[in-house]
Amino acid sequence: MKNLFLSLVIVITSLVSFGQEPMYFYPHFEELFVLDSLNIPYLPIPERNGISPVGQTYSTEKGVKKHNKYFHNNEFDFLPSPNTPRVKLNDFLKSYRFYTEGDKFVVNLMFQHNFDIIGFAVIPLPEGKYKSVEILEYYTDNNTYGTIVLLQTQSGEMTFIDQFQHPVSLDWVPTFE
C-alpha cells in the first residue's frame, strides 16, 4: 500500500508540475500486457498520433487500421483536445463498486485531481474470472492525457490493472551482470 501511495503521489505531482504542453501518458506495462493477452488492439493516444514517449514520432498503418476496425463506434477520439467532450470522473464512476481498498483509494485520489473521462470502451470477456475489461481515456485540467484499464469481476466489482494489485511476472527480463 505504501508503494501504491508513493507511486500515485509521484505521478500526480509530475502531472501538476508540467507546463501547458500536452502530456500523454502511456498505459502501464501491466495494462498493455492484459489488453495484448486478450487480443484487444488498443492504441494509446500517443501511438495513434505518432508521438513516442521517447521523442520519436511513429505510427504503424497496420496498427491504426486494427484499432479503428476494433473500436469502430467512436469510443475514442483519435486526437483528443481540451475541447473533446468529457464527463467528470466522479459522475462516470459513481455507480461503480470497487473490489479492494486500494482501488477505492486510487479513485479518491483521482476525484481530488479533476480527472475527466474523454473516451471509454467496455469489452465483454468470455467465461472466466472476469466479466469485462474497460478502457478509459482521461484528461486532466493541467493538459494531460492517459489511459486506465479496469477489470470487472463476475460479481460486478471493478479493479484497476496496475503493478501492485495485478503484477505481471518479469521472470523473462534479461539480467545484465
Residue 66 lies in a domain: no
* Total Cβ atoms within 10 A of residue 151: 20
Residue 52 lies in a domain: no
C-beta of residue 89 within 8 angstroms of C-beta of residue 116: yes
Residue 170 lies in a domain: no
**130-140 and 115-124 beta bridge pairing:** antiparallel
Question: What pLDDT does residue 123 have?
Answer: 93
Its domain, for residue 109, covers 2-42+74-160
Residue 113 lies in a domain: yes
Closest C-alpha to 97, from 152, 150, 153, 157: 157
Spatial distance between the Cα atoms of 1 and 7, rounded to a whole number of angstroms: 10
Residue 55 lies in a domain: no
The pTM is what? 0.76
Residue 121 lies in a domain: yes
How many domains does the chain divide into? Answer: 1
Question: What pLDDT does residue 29 have?
Answer: 84
DSSP summary character for residue 57: -
Phi then psi for residue 124, to 5 deg, are -65, 145
Residue 112 lies in a domain: yes
For the chain of 177 residues, list the mean pLDDT of each consecutive stretch of 10.
50 52 82 89 82 58 82 78 81 83 82 85 87 91 86 88 66 43
C-beta of residue 25 within 8 angstroms of C-beta of residue 80: no
